[in-house]
Structures are given as structure tokens and as C-alpha cells.
Structure 1
Amino acid sequence: MRVRLFAAALAASAALSCGAANATDLEVTHWWTSGGEAAAVAEFAKAFDATGNHWVDGAIAGAGDTARPIMISRITGGDPMGATQFNHGRQAEELVESGLMRDLTDVATKEKWKDVIRPASLLDECTVDGKVYCIPVNIHSWQWLWLSNKAFEKAGVAVPTNWDEFVAAAPALEKAGIIPLAVGKESWQTSGAFNVLIPAIAGKDIYLKVYKDKDATVAAGPEIAKVFKAADDARKMSAKSNVQSWNQATNLVITGAAGGQIMGDWAQGEFQVAGQVAGKDYTCLPGLGVNALISTGGDSFYFPKLKDPEKSKAQEVLASVMLSPATQVAFNLKKGSVPVRGDVDLAAANDCMKKGLEILDKGNTIPETNQLMTEDSNTQINDLFAEFFATPSMTPEDAQKRYVDIIASAQ
């Protein structure tokens, strides 16, 4: 496996060197600004710069909810960047339909993306009317509960193995002066936690009926009512979590100030930067320890149409770099995500990443809400849960009624 990886990397480097003759600067916009994220994106920049081109970093502070409107405004306003990040799914759908994104089919065909990208659905989501418009670079799953072993030791209780045990341990954590659940104030964090609770508590089929089929009757049913009860528990457990960003919430877990956090596997990058070891300093529970699923969310890069032929050529080089075997391994090990290539060596993966790989290999996956619903529908859900977590007087029953209305009109 290592020999194949090395040979593939050499072949990719040889192919990329052909593009260095007309080396140029290329601005790449993204929202990767935390410590772990910055370390990961630096691997992309290093690999691209090695071709003789130059990565111009266009990092936008804040999460995707902050960055995407800025990116979209630039593209539609005639000031496109060379490449830009979006999540897997439908976030760039209107830009593609408006003819503002570059067709990458020739590159995808030449480099046989269809043969190496897995699951195949990721490339399918980049494909419109038979043409490829983006390159998936990782698989990120939301379906994790991250626990501080130090916090539970201080509280005198065993590290939980599932969500129910975690909820039961909350009083002991609070007595020890520890916040049970760390949640930042950004709306996507609270809605993300709820969307993790659905497949864990209600199951995969219910999750798909609500978000894929847009079944409002199921959304109004008893299984989702159980999820809202769990969300109410999460709200109470996170009441003293007075931080804004997701990585600040992760830091509460890293320092032992909080017992746990529901967050995607990008949190691993923060644990890694802090020098913490999976299984020793922190514990990870896929599917909240209840239902071992992972979601196939993550990040893709789109390439806006440019008038400059040299920059257009550099776009092709960057696309090749991002999917090359060596870069896939280097980037994803630091990002905490799983490579989209199924032919790379991940012997260096930590315990948590190995858990994710095992689940992926078994096919126990679900699509992210970004992959199933429009940005407008997801924004409505974000707004609902931001209000729910910030308003203790809003009952789970009232929140569920509003949720049902959103699902009923969702696209």
C-alpha cells in the first residue's frame, strides 16, 4: 500500500510539473481559521506552491454561515476568486445553474476521479447534467460526541459510553464545577447537534423520512418528540456554555472545563494541535454511542469561471493537487476528516479516525442535511434551534410544531 501511494504521488507530481511553466497566483477562499484547520489547509497550500504556482490564502473568519454569503457575493458581483470552499451538497447549486462555475469534466475524466472517489455519491453531488463542477476533498461527519476524560475523572464518574449515560452524569459534572455540554452560540452548532440526535435516538429511517422525503407527518410524530426531549436535555446541560465559536467550545473539552461536545470530526484537529491523544485524553463516541453511523458531509472546492487563461490553467493544477494521494493523506490527517480517495494508506490514523473508517467501510452512512435540503430550508432550521437553545421558555412541543412547518415547506 505504501509503495502504491508513493508511486501515485510521484506520478501526480510529474503530471503537475507540466502546469508550472505558466505559474501564477491563485486566490483560494475558505473558512478554515482555527488552529487545526489552519494546519490542515497549509498542506494544500504547500502542495500547490510546490508546483511553482502560489496559493493566495483568502481565509474568511467565522464559520460557513458567515463566509458563504461573502463568497457568493464576490462571484455574482464579477470579482471571482480562483477557487472556493463549499460543503458537499446543494450550497453552490444556483451558481452552477447560472453558469458561473467552471466545468471540470475534462480534469475529472483524465484523472479518473470516478474510480477513486468514494462514496460515489460525493462525485454525483458535483455533477450537473453529466458535467463535473467541483472536487470533494474530504468526508466530515457530524455524528460524534467528544468527551474529556479529565473532566469525568474530576467528577468521580466513569467516562460515558452513550448519550443516556452522558445525560445521567451531568449532575456530577455540575457539582464538580464542570459544564456538562459545550455548545457555541452560532446557530449551525445548535441545529447540528439536533440533527445528530435524530439518527442516534430516532434512527436512520426517521432521519431520511424527515430530511430526504420531507415527511411532515413523521416530523410531527412521537419519534421526533423524543429527539426534542433530548434536545431539551442538551439545552439544559449547555446553559453555562458561554462561548461563541465551535473551537472555543472544543477548547472547553480539551481543558476539562466541559464534559463533552457534539461536534463534527473536524474537532479532532483541535485535539491534535493541543497534543491530546485519542483514547487517553479524550473519548469519541460515533453516533453518540447509540447508533454507530457517520454522515458523509464535508467539503468540496468549486472553481469560478475566470477570463485569465493562466489562472484557468492554475485552477486545473490545484484540482489535481487537492485529490493527489499524498496531499489527501497529509490534509486529512491534520483536519480530522477521512480522505475521499479509497486507495490511500491511513496507517497513521488515530483511534477515532479508525472508528470512522470502519463505519464507512461497513456502509453505515447517512447524507448531511446540506446534501438533502436547500440552503434556505437549512437556514430556517438553524434559526429555530438558535432560538430554542437561547429561550428556555420555549417548550419542546412548541419547537416541534415550528419544525414541522419548516419540513412541510422544505425543498
Structure 2
Amino acid sequence: MKTFTKKLLGTMAFSALMAGSAMATECEVTHWWTSGGEAAAVAEFAKAFDATGNKWVDGAIAGSGGVARPIMIGRITGGDPMCATQFNHGRQAEELVEAGLMQDLTELAEKEGWRDVVHPSSLLDSCTLDGRIYCVPVNIHSWQWLWLSRQAFEDAGVDVPTNWDEFVAAAPALQAAGKIPLAMGNQAWQASGAFGVITVALGGIDLWTKINVDKDGDAAAGPEMAKVFNAAAAAREFRKNSNVQDWNQATNLVITGKAGGQIMGDWAQGEFQVAGQVAGEDYECLPGLGVNQVISTGGDAFYFPKLDDPEKTKAQLELASLMLSKPVQVNFNLKKGSLPVRGDVDLAAANDCMKKGLAILADGNILPDGNQTLSPDTTGQIEDLMTEFWSDDSITAEDAQARYAEIIANAD
């Protein structure tokens, strides 16, 4: 009798397990997080979502956002939508929302009080169209950083710079020691991003705002912007011989001491972490190039395409809620190197560089990311120009500035 009872209980337990498995909803999530640090971060999302009884189906797309976004958009508009998809904060999904292809998250956001916890509020504003919320912001990524290899500067016999002028002055010593002063991959968004950081650091926030927010063509053509272009023309001499394509390959040049520095967003921290390097010991970081300490509020948000499946729609809302929950915000952002969008989480485990970013954020020294102010078309034009400018010495600073000013004057 006991044997029969054990078998019966075992059968019931197995049946319950199978029933639970059958009820698990698969949710394909597309994103472009494929580097070592990024993969470690996205695994935190997957682990938390799987713990709800649902199943994260990873849809990583190799390459940058510029490669992944057209694929994502094509699937959504072509009738093959995923469960959730990454975009950057800003206007990248605007047309998809206007076409009625994205889930409205307003009810969930109001129920959970997203407006009360998301900081700065501009991140949720970027998810909002006509008063309705269509995405969940998950992090703050700022472009405004210069990452420095202590090993490279020690090998070159010079002090680690504390600002951009000292970095420029140290470049000849780095070159003499066989180092690449400035690592940069051969992708359009890297060239454009580095130029944007130089603009903020050397031109100032007011100049950046006139150009990127007000679309002031005269400011883009003016003498203050000429100083920025001249500085960028000098800097392009420092990036020669990088001979890498992807941003994380350029970061690796810094990690291994082959390059002195890299202008890159704080997602680079994930790569330093995976390599076992410690901020303040193995590498240094200069927000705002050590000149204008500011955090730009770029980063990532997730949208949820409309699906004709009530169970998957339910899973979408569960995932959206989970991404903004306190423990997931902490675990994900510590791995990603980004700042959390919640202002009420404990980040005692943050490293020195993340603490610098948190202090700047707390002081309110922030500006929007270019993706929040410029259309994808304008952004694409600037990226094309910067690709040419950084790779071709025959394009003078004056010629590049004239083309840039025309793009800004006609920006939408």
C-alpha cells in the first residue's frame, strides 16, 4: 500500500511539474547586447524572468544598435513581432508607436507609480507619446567618459591624465612607447559618439543644447564649435592604428595596456569587470573628459509589440514590471556598468567610477542624450559625416564644420 501511495504521489508530482512547464510562457527578447559584460548583465534579466515561471528566449543580434534596429523594426512591421525588444531612450521607436504596433503600458505604470521612482523624469517622457507610456526604461548610460589604462601611462613614463589637456599632452609619450593614444573602433556610432563627448567637454553644455535641442545652425557654424572641430581633428591623429571594428575590442586595447584611453559610454565598465580589473587601481575614468563633469541620460528601454496571444501579453506585462523592480535594477546595472533609473535603490556595491556617475546625477548635472533630441535621420547624417571625418585626414575641420552646420540647420 505504501509503495502504491508513493507511486501515486510521484505521478501526481510529475504531472504537476509537467502542467507547470506547459503553462510557462516563452517570451523572445531581442537586443544587441553581445559583449562579455553585456551578456553578464542581460543574464540577470533572464534569470529573474525565468524565476516567475515564464521562459526568456534570448534573441541577441550581433553588432551594434545600428545593425540590430532595422532587423527589429522589419520584424515588427512585417508581422513577425517578438515579445519584447530593446531600443535606446529617445525617438527610435516613435513611428512604431504612432502606427499602433506597441503595447500601451500606461495602466501598469500608473499602478506601480513609475512617475514617482524613475529619475530623471525625462527617461519616462521619452517613453511617452500623447500622454500614454509605451516602454520601460531600464538604465542610464552616459557617453561622457574617458577610460584610461594605468599600465599604458606607466609604460610610457607619464602620469595618468586628470583632464583632456593632460591627455593630449601625454599622447606623444604614448606613441613613443608604442601605444595607441586613443582607441576607437571603425563604426559610425563610435566616431559620432566620441565627437559628441568632445563637444560637451570643450564647447560646454550651452553650446551642445543650442545645437542638439534648439537645432541652431548658426551656433553649429560658429567660432565655439570651430574649437571643437579643431580639437577633434587633432584627436583623430591619436586613434590611428587602432585597427579594430567593435567598441569592446577598442576597450580591450585599454584593458591590456595597448592603448592609453578610449572615449566610450559607461557600458565599457562591464568589460573591465569581466576582465577582473578594478576602478581606481587598474583603470581610471574621467567624466566629461575631466573638464565638464556631466551625465547624459542615454541608455536603454524595452518596448513590447502588440501580440494576438493573451498569455504572451500577460508575460509582457510581468517582464515590464520586473525590469523596473528594485532587485533587478540593482543586479542588472551593477553588471552593465550603467546607472539605475530608480532613485530609491541601494548601490553600496558600486565601484569608484559608478560612484562618480551617481554623484553627478545626484547634483543634477545632466543633459539629454542625442537620441532623445535628434531624429534617427539626422543622427544618421551626423554619423555618416563623422565616419568620413575621423578616417580621412584630407577633410579639414573647416569643411567638416560647414557640412555639420548644414545638417543641424535642416534637422527635424
Task: Give the TM-score, by structure 2 length.
Answer: 0.94
C-alpha separation in 2, matches of 1:402 and 1:268: 34
Q: CA offsets per residue over residues 307-350 of structure 1, 9 Å max, x none?
A: 01110000001001101100000000000000001110000000
What is the CA–CA distance in structure 1 between the aligned matches of 2:155 and 2:228, rounded to whole Å?
29
Cα contact 1:303–1:315 (8 A) shared by 2: yes
RMSD: 1.1
Q: Identify the residue that residue 348 of structure 2 maps to in structure 1.
A: 347
Count how many residue pairs are aligned between Structure 1 and Structure 2: 393
Q: Letter of the aligned partner of 1:381 in structure 2? A: I
Alignment gaps of 5+ in structure 2:
1-19
CA distance in 2, matches of 1:137, 1:46: 16
- Specify the SS of the correspondent of 1:161: coil
CA drift at 1:23: 2.8
* 2:104 paired with 1:103: yes
1:215 aligned onto 2:237: no
For each residue in 1:43-84, what CA deviation from the matched residue of structure 2 results, as whole angstroms up to 9, or x when unmatched? 000000000000000000001000000000000000000000
1:291 aligns with 2:277: no
Counterpart in 2 of 1:7?
A: none
**Are positions 1:42 and 2:28 aligned together?**
no
Q: Secondary structure in 2 aligned to 1:147?
A: strand
Code of the residue aligned with 2:403 in structure 1: it is R
Residue in structure 1 matched with residue 186 of structure 2 by the alignment: 185
Shift of 1:21: 9.7
1:392 matched to 2:409? The reply is no
- The residue number in structure 2 matching 1:129 is 130
Q: State, as a whole percentage, how many aligned pairs show the same letter.
A: 73
Please report how far the alpha carbon of residue 228 of structure 1 lies from its aligned counterpart in structure 2 after TM superposition.
0.5
Query: Does residue 1:334 correspond to 2:359, yes or no?
Result: no
- 5 Å-filtered alignment, 1:19-168, equals 22-168=23-169
Deviations 1:273-304 (A, max 9, x none): 00000000000000000010110000000000
Deviation track 1:162-216 (CA, whole Å, cap 9, x = no partner) reads 0011011010000000000000000000000000011100100000000000000
After TM superposition, give the deviation of residue 20 of structure 1 in Å: 10
Radius of gyration: which is bigger? 2
Q: Give, in whole Å, the separation in 1 of the partners of 2:113 and 2:21.
A: 22
SS at match of 2:181: strand
Q: Which AA in structure 2 matches 1:257? A: K
**SS of equivalent to 1:85:** strand
**8 Å contact from structure 1 (residues 84, 303) kept in 2:** yes
Q: Is the 8 A contact 1:23 1:314 kept in 2?
A: no
Question: In the alignment, is the contact (CA less than 8 A) between 1:20 and 1:51 conserved in 2?
Answer: no
Alpha-carbon distance between aligned partners in 1 of 2:392 and 2:366, rounded to the nearest angstrom: 33
SS of the residue 2:52 aligns to: coil
Secondary structure (helix, strand or coil) at the match of 1:371 reads helix
In structure 1, how many angstroms separate the alpha carbons of the residues matched to 2:350 and 2:202?
28
Could you say which residue in structure 2 is the equivalent of 1:9? none
Residue aligning to 2:206: 205
CA-to-aligned-CA distance 1:372-396 (integer Å, 9 cap, x gap): 0000000000000001111111101
Amino acid at match of 1:166: F
* Residue 300 (structure 2) pairs with residue 305 (structure 1): no
| Deviation, structure 1 residue 22 | 4.6
Runs of 4+ in 1 over 3 A off after TM superposition: 19-22
> 2: distance between equivalents of 1:135 and 1:95?
15
Between the aligned partners of 2:234 and 2:160, the Cα distance in structure 1 is: 18
1:270-289 superposed matches below 5 A: 270-289=271-290
Superposed, 1:313-324 pairs within 5 Å as: 313-324=314-325
Which 5+ residue runs of structure 1 have no aligned equivalent? 1-18
Contact 1:266–1:335 (8 Å) recurs in 2: yes
**Please, which moves more after superposition, 204-213 or 107-116?**
107-116
